Amino acid sequence: MNVSEGSTVTYFVLLGFPGPWKIQIILFSLILLLYMITLTGNMAIICAVRWNQQLHTPMYMFLANFSFLEIWYVTCTVPNMLVNSLSKTKTISFTGCFTQFYFFFSLGTTECFFLCAMAYDRYLAICYPLHYPSIMTRQFCSILMSLCWIIGFSAHLIPIFFISQLSFCGPNIIDHFLCDVDPLIALSCTPTHIIRHVFYSISTLIIILTGLYILGSYALELRAVLQVPSSDGRQKAFSTCGSHLLVVSLFYGTIMVMYVSPTSGNSVDMNKIITLIYSVVTPALNPFIYSLRNKDMKYALHHVFFGNSIMQNL
């Protein structure tokens, strides 16, 4: 599988999670189940927002776009992971590897900015409820969502392009289940210190700034909620933000371990597990987190899955 020294790499070998055939079957089944849950749950949210007029509000527009993002986020890595788990060759082309690399980080960055936009939406709704309708209009909501996509797909474009221009002359084996930055840079035959530093600087800056913004917005929201005189009002406000904060904790907790704190002390297997959590497990949990804590969304999802006849009997 190794490429001889001096030749040019045309494909990579993704080792994934090596193990006996039975373990591969179990892993394939679990990842496939999580993938189907992610697709079904997020598609249901998109359909619920699309078909229910009551959900045509900025908060649910953000949620529908976030669900659309999650579908593509898992799809850029999981299908290849499933194929490789049952394959003997476990190969991915050079172009396919860097395409996956670009979309994986671009969609992940877009998710960071979407979580910021959703936090801003909740901040306006809780801290400035009277001004919320005039500020968070559909047009402004659309502008924010467009900016999330544009910035997300632009942030890592230049460093990933330069990484793809490095010389890869062998070996070509990546001890991971996807094309990540450290395994790729480790295989380069040319010096990569500056490119690696630039890539991690951009990632760290995005993660810290968006994370601090989200924490700051929630601190202001918490102060506003505590000033609400009625317990019902406080409970409703906490419920509105609780699901979002849980998603943020799951996502940021894992990506900070990978791309902010030094990962050289972590084992390869530990890095794989952490990546698996934020790239596969968390997207599968998000639909449940949002729907189970939101009465309007639960009502709309019942309508999507069961139709009007069931709804009339609820």
Q: Is pLDDT of 302 > 90? A: no
Q: What is the pLDDT of residue 243?
A: 67
Interatomic CA distance for residues 301 and 180, integer angstroms: 36
85 or 292, which is more confident?
A: 85
HSE value, Cβ hemisphere, 13 Å, CA-based, for 86: 11
Bridge partners of residue 78, in order along the sequence: none
Q: What is the pLDDT of residue 212?
A: 93
Q: How confident is the model at residue 312 (pLDDT cuts 50, 70, 90)?
A: very low
Interatomic CA distance for residues 281 and 112, integer angstroms: 17
The whole-number average pLDDT for the span 125-143 is: 92
What are 163-213's pLDDT values in tens digits?
999 888 878 999 999 999 988 988 988 877 889 899 989 999 999 999 999
> Do 207 and 255 form a contact (C-beta atoms < 8 A)?
yes
Q: How confident is the model at residue 98 (pLDDT cuts 50, 70, 90)?
A: very high
Q: Is pLDDT of 153 > 90? A: yes
Q: What is the pLDDT of residue 266?
A: 65
Q: Which CATH architecture has domain 11-289?
A: Up-down Bundle (1.20)
What are 74-96's pLDDT values in tens digits?
999 999 999 998 888 899 999 99
Question: pTM (2 decimals)?
Answer: 0.88
What are 209-264's pLDDT values in tens digits?
999 999 899 888 888 877 766 666 666 666 666 667 777 888 888 888 887 765 55
Q: What is the pLDDT of residue 311?
A: 43
Q: What is the pLDDT of residue 310?
A: 43
Q: How confident is the model at residue 18 (pLDDT cuts 50, 70, 90)?
A: confident
Q: Is pLDDT of 159 > 90? A: yes
Q: How confident is the model at residue 146 (pLDDT cuts 50, 70, 90)?
A: very high
Q: Percent of the chain having pLDDT more than 70?
A: 87
Q: Which two tokens stand for residue 177?
A: 């289940």
Q: What is the pLDDT of residue 62?
A: 93
Q: What is the pLDDT of residue 4?
A: 47
Q: Which two tokens stand for residue 190?
A: 């040319």
> Do 250 and 282 form a contact (C-beta atoms < 8 A)?
yes
**Could you tell me the residue ranges of all domains in the chain?**
11-289
The whole-number average pLDDT for the span 263-291 is: 82
